[in-house]
Amino acid sequence: MSRMLKKNKRTTRARSKTSKNENSMDEDDAPAAPGKDPMMAYGEKAIRLTANWIIKTNAAPGGLADWYAKQILDSKESSKSESISANFAAKNRMADLPCIETTRIKLKHLADGQKDYIHANLVKTIYAERTYIATQHPLESTFEDFWRMVFYENVDTIIAVFAQEDDLPLYFPNEAGKFGNYGKFFVNNRKVTQPTVKYTPVIHQIEILPEGCSNSRIITLLHYAYWPKNQFPVSPRIVMKTLRCVKSDKTTNGPLLIHCSNGLNRVGCFILSDLMFDLAFRNIDTDIPKMVKSLRAQRFNLLSNKLHFVYSCFVFLDYVRIRCKKYNVFPDLLKEINEFEVTINKEIGLLCVKEPPPQKNNTKKDCTIDE
């Protein structure tokens, strides 16, 4: 009998361990897989250059935050250019935030007399595989403009970053089977997938149909609700996992639309992180100062908070750390990243927001951050 009990205990522990590995999408929980990581091996030169620049800059007096404040925010170079946003104050969330005219999205298929203005900018960089629309959370008076932009700019995916604390109006039906008319656009929520693991967004499948049009479009809306303004998620993996959800959508060919309350810092963090991932892992050297200046020249005051720039670098290095640990490669770089993360956690730790535990009754596989 005692042998049977011991055997049952061992079996229970084994099942418990197996269950944890099967249900967890966290790469740190995955079994070690020593060997060559094809992604890291292919992009090693650019990955190391990008990582070393971040680590070296952070090691200087004042760290990354001080460098960004002096070299970017205090720079005499201005991203402000011709803007007509002052003429459309009722459509702007922030009265003092101009919308750069040369990159502004122009609304299409308007009735006679309607203006093409919307506070949104097309953002792109050389060598990048993706383009972005950086915009504000729509006002109630601009819901129709927002859906018009999504439909006619061929947006396939929206990343929506807003929390309950932001106190923003909901511009889409957030329950499966619910629908509504937003001006001349019928918007139907066909499906909602709740996260079953940490650091993943709620995934909405949204159908959009303009008035008088017979063909609707289906888009994906990824909503992460635990990143309030001027704060940060407790783990940088929310950025990685959300972007992985976008990349797993093979039909994506239009710009990726990202918005937060005003379309500056949380949006900028997603864009900069994605660009660093994209270029470095394709072994394309990344000039971070030049890239940031280019982004800010297309969306006025993008990444205006120095700590959001720091967090973007944190996101990139944390992903590199995960792959180094998982595949047991680049131990020298892993050590430096671990030391970097200790420093950064001290700097932004008090500003981090925890998310509630995910639901456990949904067995659908969520987006991972591994290939």
The CATH number of residue 167's host domain is 3.90.190.10
Per the domain annotation, does 371 fall within a domain? Answer: no
CA distance 260 to 239: 13
Per the domain annotation, does 212 fall within a domain? Answer: yes
Per the domain annotation, does 228 fall within a domain? Answer: yes
Q: Taking a C-beta distance cutoff of 8 angstroms, is the pair 369, 240 a contact? A: yes
Per the domain annotation, does 16 fall within a domain? Answer: no
pTM over 0.75: yes
Going residue by residue through the chain, which has 371 residues, state the pLDDT in tens, using 9 for 90 and above: 444 444 444 444 433 343 333 333 355 445 555 667 888 889 999 999 999 999 999 999 999 999 999 999 998 665 556 788 889 999 999 999 999 999 999 999 999 999 999 999 999 998 898 999 999 999 999 999 999 999 999 999 999 999 888 899 999 999 999 999 999 999 999 999 999 888 899 999 999 999 999 999 999 999 999 998 888 988 999 999 999 998 655 555 789 999 999 999 999 999 999 999 999 999 999 999 999 999 999 999 999 999 999 999 999 999 999 999 999 999 999 999 999 999 998 888 878 887 777 766 544 445 544 43
Per the domain annotation, does 309 fall within a domain? Answer: yes
> Which residues have CB under 8 Å from 340's CB, separation 6+?
54, 55, 58, 317
The token duo for 328 is 């047991």
Per the domain annotation, does 179 fall within a domain? Answer: yes
Q: Which domain holds residue 178?
A: 40-353
Per the domain annotation, does 206 fall within a domain? Answer: yes
Question: What are the residue ranges of helices labelled H in 63-119?
Answer: 63-68
In this structure, which amino acid lies at residue 200?
T
Per the domain annotation, does 367 fall within a domain? Answer: no
Instruction: Return left, alpha or beta for 62; rule: phi > 0 is left, psi -120 to 50 is alpha, else beta.
Output: left
Report the number of distinct structural domains present in the chain: 1
